[in-house]
Chain A
Amino acid sequence: MDWRGWAEIVFTIALTVAVGWPLGIFMARVWAGERTWLDPVLKPVEALAYAAFGVDRSKGQNWLGYAAAALAFSAVGFVLLYLQLRFQNLLPLNPQGFDGLSPHLAFNTAVSFVSNTNWQSYAGEATMSNLSQMAGLTVHNFVSAGTGLAIAAAMARAFAADRGENLGNFWVDLTRTTLYVLLPLSIVTALVLVAAGVPQTLLANVEASTVEGAKQVISLFPTASQEAIKQWGTNGGGIFNVNSAHPFENPTPFTNLIEVVSLNALAFGTVIAFGRVAGARKEAKALIAVMVILVGVAAAAIYSAETLTPQPAMISAGISDAPSNMEGKEVRFGPAASSIWAAQTTGASNGSVNAMHGSFMPLGGGVAMFMIQLGEILPGGVGSGLYGMVVMALLAVFVAGLMVGRTPEYLGKKVEAREIKFAMLAVLILPLTILGFSSIAAVLPVALEGLLNKGPHGLSEILYAYSSAAGNNGSAFAGLTANAPWWDTTLGIAMLLGRFAYLVPVMAIAGAIAAKPKLQPTAGTLPSDSPLFVGLLIGIVLILGGLQFFPALALGPIVEHFQVLAAAR
């Protein structure tokens, strides 16, 4: 632990918000259909798209229509991706001659990328053809992010509406967000990454004859183009097995900075865009404050755990001069860059990693897991983090309203029974899925076969896997060998529930909110841009989102922490 580490953490968070802010302002313009400087190039492409889709861009949708479009798009994407992966051996651009994926792995992977989770039960360099990486996974990195952002746009319009039902057009929001925001960002980022050392080639691999005369097969891929959207779209599915810990995905501290910033910037930007469209700029800043505070605390906690916890394995080998845990970490990053990445990637639903979370000290890995369990709203996935945070904000004003006995309001909309019911439905999906599946897996022999570590750490592997899947995060305690029928299938179901069983109640909330009259704040309104509200929202996130996982965490990382302290004595 040193000042540079703390500086890296503070600087990274500050830069992430600073980059996200103007992006959010730009995205609000894109959502509103306004002119942008990219119009000369992209307008014709956009027009061509609508003509081909058979979509009238001026025609809005109500919440049902909007949700149906989003679900239809995801369903078609899932079927096509499943078939493509299952039969990649019959398709071109497969220089390594990889087989088609097994049914359970193709199911898991297709769900994973369609739901913006990007959980990887496979090792990319040993499984996926170039075509699968590009025309399959990269595409869904874009459009699953675009889907999330579109729904955030619909949510923003719901708060702006006054007794309306028009939430915009899903196809227009999806297309414009993808074309005007995600694609240009990815092109620029990919080229910067290549300049800094990330490969981008259609060559399968190179055979090197090493200095000591051994043979080394070096896997290469079109890495940079996938890396860029993997980060911007809070996807997280790497080309390689070890994700951004791989020196080809992330060769230097500079590429690490680009990647960790692009991982969260757009999710912060979504909040800014929401504030502009919903006419709630100050309130958006309050949401950003909540996110920054909790991500900052998490990063500090992980960094402290990784640098201060005594390591029994080191002590018993007589190594006293090594306070930092370097197992599973890269020398070029060290504990600080690994800690801020872990906090950002679990606070967002990104799930890319630059160090192995399964080898973190118990509290370091535990905080990462807890961040996912808080519901992926800090700042969460692009789009999905925003609408998740709005659900929490509705619950916060509801709880505050109960305390003072007034009908709660948020952003000029009365919050009534219908919205709260849907909000609770959405919020309960996560614990139901995570704790339900985990408790079954913890006693099922076929599930336990997949574990690498025993005892509390084994339970953490299970708990982390279902948290990651249901939270649509995608990172792992990778000791778990997940490519087996039980894990592939149940994790796939958890991902589906976490994305789509959440999305439908959220759209219902948007519909209900849009239909209400827009009220002017009165003396009795709880201001939702004040430090008091920030504190209240943090409390709701921690208590409502987090507390239900505490008993499970006590049996996993927390008890393991005390075992470590005892073993180090």
Chain B
Amino acid sequence: MLSQLRPAIVSMVFFTALLGLAYPLAVTGLAGALFPAQAGGSLIRNQAGEVVGSEWIGQTFKDAAYLHPRPSAAGKDGYDASASSGSNLGPLNEDLAARIKGDAEALRAADGPGSIPADAVTASGSGLDPHISPENAARQIARVAAARNTAPAAVAAVIAENTQGYTFGFLGRPRVNVLTANLALDARYPKAQAKAP
């Protein structure tokens, strides 16, 4: 075993230089040159150039004029993009039942008694899910349209533009990007006028 010590130590140094430094740095360089936006985290900026979020990272929306995301277990208040986490509650956990019950009542108060899609009351695995299901979005149209003083059909159209279907017709699930949809709503139907007293 001792005779193997030299190759063991030298090879570890060799592989660290090659795989731990050269490889990730080369990929970083190539990625930055070929796909700078994605490599940088697909950040979305406002007109002033300030970062408002990432296309892939959900954020909290509470205002009635916005589509609301799913419940989140990331960080203390949810959607903490430096503390990804699911709830990890088992199916019989009392905290899970209480949370779902409370969220369901809040949803019924906000958007009426219609049926509630599963994703609207469940926390995602990451706590940062940027998407909601189309059914979840549809359930919120009336509220958003009223808050923006616009027609439900107009809101539905914006949602449709920010909806992606199945990949290759069968992979994954259809989904609405909450952040991009809300930004599009703000751009087209600013809520400021709607909310003026």
Contact = CB atoms under 8 A, between A and B. Distances in A.
- A interacts with B: yes
Interface of A: 3-4, 7-8, 11, 45, 49, 52-55, 68-69, 71-73, 75-77, 80, 123, 125-126, 134-136, 138-139, 142-143, 171, 174-175, 178, 183, 186-187, 190-191, 194-203, 205-212, 214, 216-220, 222, 224-226, 229, 240-242, 245-248, 251-254, 256-257, 309, 311-314, 316-334, 337, 353-356, 358-362, 452-455, 457, 460, 477-479, 560, 563-564, 567
A89 B18 CA distance: 23
Interface of B: 1, 4-12, 14-16, 18-21, 23-28, 30-32, 34-35, 38-43, 50-63, 66, 70, 79-93, 96-97, 100-101, 103-105, 115-119, 121-133, 166-167, 169-173, 175, 179, 182-183, 186
B130 to A, nearest CB: 6
Nearest to A477: B88
Contacts, number: 385
A464 B83 CA distance: 23
A208 B53 contact: yes
A218 B116 contact: no
A516 B162 CA distance: 65
B12 A80 contact: yes
Contact of A319 (B14, B121, B131): B121
A332 B172 CA distance: 5
A126 B19 CA distance: 23
B194 to A, nearest CB: 16
Given A73-B8, A248-B56, A139 B15 contact: yes
A195 B12 CA distance: 31
A191 B14 contact: no
Contacts of A217: 80-82
Given A139-B19, A183-B23, A242-B126, A326 B119 contact: yes
Nearest to A316: B97
Given A210-B52, A254-B167, 15 more contacts: A73-B12, A80-B16, A125-B84, A134-B20, A138-B24, A171-B11, A196-B38, A198-B38, A209-B52, A210-B60, A321-B116, A324-B118, A328-B87, A328-B122, A457-B92
A311 B127 CA distance: 21
Contacts of A563: 92
Given A210-B53, A224-B31, A216 B38 contact: no
Given A183-B23, A218-B82, A320-B115, A194 B38 contact: yes
Nearest to B43: A206
A474 B19 CA distance: 22
Given A195-B38, A211-B66, A247-B129, A55 B170 contact: no
Contacts of B7: 53-55, 69, 72-73, 171
Contacts of A319: 100, 104, 115-116, 118, 121
B88 A356 contact: yes
Given A178-B15, A206-B51, A563-B92, A212 B60 contact: yes
A251 to B, nearest CB: 5
B36 to A, nearest CB: 9
A194 B39 contact: yes
| Central interface residue in A212, A226, A319, by most chain B CB within 10 Å | A319
Nearest to A64: B1
A355 B87 CA distance: 11
A479 B90 contact: yes
Contact of B90 (A49, A135, A453): A453
Contacts of B171: 4, 8, 11, 253-254, 256-257, 337
Given A210-B52, A252-B167, A359-B90, A72 B4 contact: yes
The 6 A-B pairs with the shortest beta carbon distances in the complex, nearest first, are A253-B172, A245-B125, A135-B20, A322-B118, A457-B90, A334-B173
B90 A332 contact: no
Contact of A53 (B6, B90, B116): B6
A77 B11 CA distance: 10
Contacts of A142: 15, 19
A453 B171 CA distance: 32
A535 B11 CA distance: 43
Contact of B122 (A210, A216, A326): A326
A559 B122 CA distance: 24
A229 B59 CA distance: 30
B172 A201 contact: no
A470 to B, nearest CB: 21
A509 B155 CA distance: 67
A352 to B, nearest CB: 12
Given A73-B11, A331-B70, A143 B116 contact: no
A330 B116 contact: no
A398 B11 CA distance: 40
10 contacts: A53-B7, A73-B4, A203-B40, A208-B81, A211-B182, A216-B59, A242-B126, A245-B126, A479-B88, A479-B89
A455 B16 contact: no
Contacts of A55: 7
A126 B83 contact: yes
A518 B118 CA distance: 60
A190 B40 CA distance: 14
Contacts of A220: 40-41
Contacts of A73: 4, 7-8, 11-12
A331 B38 contact: no
B54 A331 contact: no
A46 B132 CA distance: 49
B174 to A, nearest CB: 9
A285 B39 CA distance: 40
Nearest to A71: B1
B126 A69 contact: no
Contacts of B81: 208, 216-219
A226 B34 CA distance: 18
B9 A76 contact: yes
A318 to B, nearest CB: 6
B20 A136 contact: yes
Contacts of A75: 8
B115 A321 contact: yes
A64 B135 CA distance: 62
B86 A247 contact: no
Contacts of A197: 38, 42, 55-56
Contacts of A248: 41, 54, 56-57
B125 A200 contact: no
B147 to A, nearest CB: 13
Nearest to A96: B82
A320 to B, nearest CB: 7
Contact of B124 (A178, A209, A330, A452): A330
Contacts of A454: 93
A133 to B, nearest CB: 8
